[in-house]
Amino acid sequence: MPISISDLFKIPLIYSVNLAPDGEAVLYSSNLTGIPHLYVLQTKPGAEPKQITSGNDPVMFGSLSPSGDHIVYLQDKDGNELHHLFLTSKDGEKAQQITKNPYRTWDAKWHPNGKEVARSYATKKSCSLEILNVKTGENFVLKEQETPFFIDEYSHDGKWIACTEYGGGKDPKNMQVTVINRNDPTDTINYNFKDGTKEMYPTWAPNDKKLAFLSDIKGKNQVVVQDFQGEQNLFLRLREGEEAYEQKICWGPTGDKVYYIVSKHSRSNLYEHPFDGEKTKLPFPEGTNLLSRISKDGKTIIALLSSMSTPPCIYLHETESRTVTPLTSRQYKVNLAELAKPKSIWYESSDGLKIHAWYLPAGCGTPPHPAVVWPHGGPWWQTYDWWSPYLQSISQSGFAVLAPNFRGSTGYGAQFRNMDLSDAGGGDLEDVVCGVKWLAKQPEIDSSKIGIMGGSYGGFMTLMALTKKPEVFAAGVAYVPVTDWLEMYDLSDAEYRKFMEELFEGPPEKREQLYRDSSPITYLSQIKAPVLISCGRHDSRCPIQPIEKFVEKLKEMRHPHEFRVQEKEGHGFARVEALVREVTTGVEYLRKTLGTR
Strand partners, 344: 358
Computed over every residue of the chain, the mean pLDDT equals: 95
Strand partners, 303: 292, 315
Q: How far apart are CA 155 and CA 162, in angstroms?
A: 7
pLDDT band at 597; cut points 50, 70, 90: low
In a domain, 298, yes or no: no
Q: Are 458 and 394 in contact (CB under 8 A)?
A: no
Q: Are 153 and 208 in contact (CB under 8 A)?
A: no
- At 321 the pLDDT is 83
pLDDT band at 572; cut points 50, 70, 90: confident
- At 383 the pLDDT is 96
Strand partners, 150: 164
pLDDT value at 168 more than 90: no
Share of the chain above pLDDT 90, in %: 93
Query: What is the DSSP code string of 520-582?
Result: GGGGGGG--S-EEEEEETT-SSS-HHHHHHHHHHHHHHT--EEEEEETT--SS--SHHHHHHH
pLDDT in tens, 363-372: 999 999 999 9
pLDDT in tens, 230-245: 999 999 999 999 999 9
> Which CATH number covers residue 404?
3.40.50.1820
What is the per-residue burial (b if ≥16 Cβ within 10 Å, else e) of 189-200?
A: eebbbeebbbbb
Q: Average pLDDT in the 130-159 region? A: 94
* Phi then psi dihedrals of residue 501, to 5 deg: -65, -30
In a domain, 491, yes or no: yes
In a domain, 163, yes or no: no
- At 391 the pLDDT is 97
In a domain, 590, yes or no: yes
pLDDT value at 336 more than 90: yes
In a domain, 136, yes or no: no
pLDDT in tens, 70-110: 999 999 999 999 999 999 998 878 899 999 999 999 889 99
Q: Are 124 and 494 in contact (CB under 8 A)?
A: yes
Q: Report how many domains make up the chain.
A: 1
pLDDT value at 307 more than 70: yes
In a domain, 82, yes or no: no
- Residue closest to 79 by CA, chosen among 493, 488, 563, 480: 480
Strand pairing class (445-455; 369-373)? parallel
- Residue closest to 394 by CA, chosen among 386, 405, 402: 402
Q: How far apart are CA 61 and CA 109, in angstroms?
A: 11
Q: Which residues form the domain of 417?
A: 340-594
In a domain, 216, yes or no: no
Q: Average pLDDT in the 272-292 region? A: 94
Q: Are 480 and 542 in contact (CB under 8 A)?
A: yes
In a domain, 73, yes or no: no
